[in-house]
Amino acid sequence: MSINKNSRKYAPATERNREPILEVLKHVLPPHGTVLEVASGTGEHAVFFAPRLSPRQWLPSDFDPQLRASIAAWRNYQPTENLYPPLELDASASVWPVEAEALLELENNFDFDQYPLNAIVNINMIHISPWSTCLGLVAGAGRILPTGGILYLYGPFKQGGKHTSQSNVAFDRALRSQNRGWGVRDLGDVVAAAQAQNLTFLQTYQMPANNLSVVFQYQ
């Protein structure tokens, strides 16, 4: 498949948050296995994280075909052995492609025997998608992750029903003006949804620009 370098898209926030996120991921991810990134967006995080988190394998995904093209273009531009090609994945779907491991291994050379899928990373998605997508994300994590597996979320959150900064108030208002189903989620609601899928809330990390890293573990 030919890949057009002009397919590479850019997200300005990536360069600002990738180093702080990487430091948390180094601390919370299992030391081996495959990390599934749900909603990889442009692919800039994937090409940055994969070589720095080796020997873990990094599996990017996105529902948007233009973003998958961007991920593929970035992967071609900055190749690394432990970065898989992007997977089409809708987080809100009741069944994810990775649940058909045998087919994926045959078609894409994924090696889930040597590198079992034991972590899911999701960055800046649940506030720019319907609440059903968040519910689908934690449900998918509940189906897929093994005992001890990690679900990592990054983004802005309300706490105790209140925004943590005026900038998040303005951001939430802007999101809801674009789509009434979008908006900054309350951490308590996300924790409750995750707990319903046997995901135990471990901790949060304060991140730049009033964002949080939120870590869950499947029990």
| Distance in angstroms (rounded) separating the CA atoms of residues 35 and 90 | 17
pLDDT for 110 equals: 82
Q: What angle do CA 188, 193, 196 make, to 5 degrees?
A: 125
- Write out the H or E segment, with its range, that includes residue 20: helix 12-28
pLDDT for 106 equals: 59
Strands 199-207 and 211-218: antiparallel
pLDDT for 3 equals: 55
- Nearest CA to 155 among 19, 13, 29? 13
DSSP letter, residue 77? H
pLDDT for 4 equals: 60
* Average pLDDT, consecutive stretches of 10 residues, N- to C-terminus, the chain (219 residues): 71 93 98 97 98 97 97 96 95 93 69 92 98 98 97 97 96 96 98 98 96 98
Per CATH, the homologous superfamily of domain 5-218 is: Vaccinia Virus protein VP39 (3.40.50.150)
Question: What burial letters (b/e) apply to 153-170, b meaning 16+ CB within 10 Å?
Answer: bbbbbbeeeebbeeebee
**The two three-digit tokens of residue 195, written as one number:** 């707990």
